[in-house]
Amino acid sequence: MMGSSVQTDQGFFGLPEDTESSQGRLKAYIVSDVHLNTHPYDEAAEPENPRRRNFRLFLTQLNANIKPNDRIQLILNGDILDITGSWFDDIMPWDDNRPLVQRKLDELLLALMENNQATFQALRQLLQHPLAEIIYVFGNHDGMLQQYPDSQQVVKNFLAPTPEGAATQERIRFVPFYASDELDLYIEHGHLQDPFNRRDNPGDPPLGDVINVLIVNRFVEMAIDRFRASGYSDAFINRIHSRLHDIEYLRPLALLPVWVQTVSHEFASLPESQGKRAGVQDIVLAVIAEILQDPQMVAYMTHRLQWPRPMLPLIIKLILGIPWILPVISFLTSKLMRRTHSNKFQYKAAQKLHREKGYRLIAFGHTHIPGVLPLSESAYYFNTGSWKPVINLFKLTKDPVELEYLSPEVRFNKVERCGILCIEKQGGISQGPAEFSLQTIQSGIG
């Protein structure tokens, strides 16, 4: 890892080889967007949650390479615990009853960590090194840890049970951002640059939270119940259930309407779909209409989007009745929500931070798109991507970065695009600039 470099691999990336001369250095490893969730997996067939195995493998290799004198910082840059993506309770995260929300949050945190035991065992092993610390930067999916700071103790207790782990818990920090003069480094998750995922008013949930909790988390199970009630076979239901569950991997979520349209068309063409009293697309649109007319959704749209409450059901019915409305909605919302799937706006924020604060290395996450761009001759902006698969809609003949929503020649690609930003520094501030390496992976996962 010596020097400043960027590496892109097609397989799982290993950590840089260590040498005797690197002992005693401060070594910081920055990752983001792991999205550990409560979604079930076949525990009889899998020794661990398979969805984030690559992240656990990274931690295992990190633990194996630590030297006794190393100072280690593992900086978890937001959306590590996918709280909003795992929130299926009737009580909403933004409910005014804070004690009740606090209790539900604490229960969910335990379920999240227990469902990802292998990952948390690797984190516990890291903390056994006396010079290692974990710095947890809040993101948008785990922002409730900032809103409910008492729940941070649930995570600390799981990683380092008290009373024996009291001293270890002091090496676990939760912060809204992280700045290091020693490394000339600034880190934040990046959702604050995204108006759809930041909390401008403490009393109102961000639009991203509402979409995750009231639409994404409910859509699949509601649709499956409708298919079952309409007489579709178990084989058909199992197949479409698996396909619909990919909704959690969409990036940006503005793709949801055109993705739903694509899945509906795919399954409507199957022989079993013929002659049913409710077609695939009819069921899907009915579920969408029901979700949009849910009292909590109506209350949110009335208040936040200033839609007229008495006319809302009629407006929704008219909109969903327009042929090919779903791709049109995706096209329009993608333009409005372009900050959620582009590093362009984060890069501008990094340029401003570099000009005003002078940081040499600035890292974000959130967009799920890994990359590096120069800020000056010796300063850089990084994005560490995501350890969660990404499904995007790409035109076949175009570069994958360019989204094309209204072309008939489109397909969905499912890829994992994650990265590790590794920064090393010998001694104190006077010992010269830190060395860095950004290792990234982008591989199709089927």
Per-residue pLDDT at 400 exceeds 60:
no
pLDDT in tens, 420-446: 999 998 765 556 788 888 887 665 544
What distance lies between CA 302 and its chain's CA centroid? 28
Per-residue pLDDT at 202 exceeds 60:
yes
Contact 423, 30 (CB under 8 A): yes
pLDDT at 110: 98
pLDDT at 446: 41
10 exposure class (CB count in 10 Å sphere: 0-12, 13-18, 19+): exposed
Q: Which two tokens stand for residue 212?
A: 């995750």
pLDDT at 405: 35
Higher pLDDT, 304 or 39: 39
Q: What is the mean pLDDT of the chain?
A: 82
Per-residue pLDDT at 397 exceeds 50:
no
Contact 419, 77 (CB under 8 A): no
pLDDT in tens, 333-345: 655 555 566 788 8
How many angstroms separate the CA atoms of 279 and 272, rounded? 10
Contact 90, 27 (CB under 8 A): no
pLDDT in tens, 93-127: 999 999 999 999 999 999 999 999 999 999 999 99
Average pLDDT of the residues in 377-385: 93
Percent of the chain with pLDDT over 90: 41
pLDDT at 159: 96
Q: Which two tokens stand for residue 104?
A: 């539900």
pLDDT in tens, 19-70: 544 457 899 999 999 999 998 888 888 888 887 888 999 999 999 999 999 9
* Residue showing tokens 């008013």: 201
pLDDT at 83: 97
How many angstroms separate the CA atoms of 355 and 350, rounded? 9
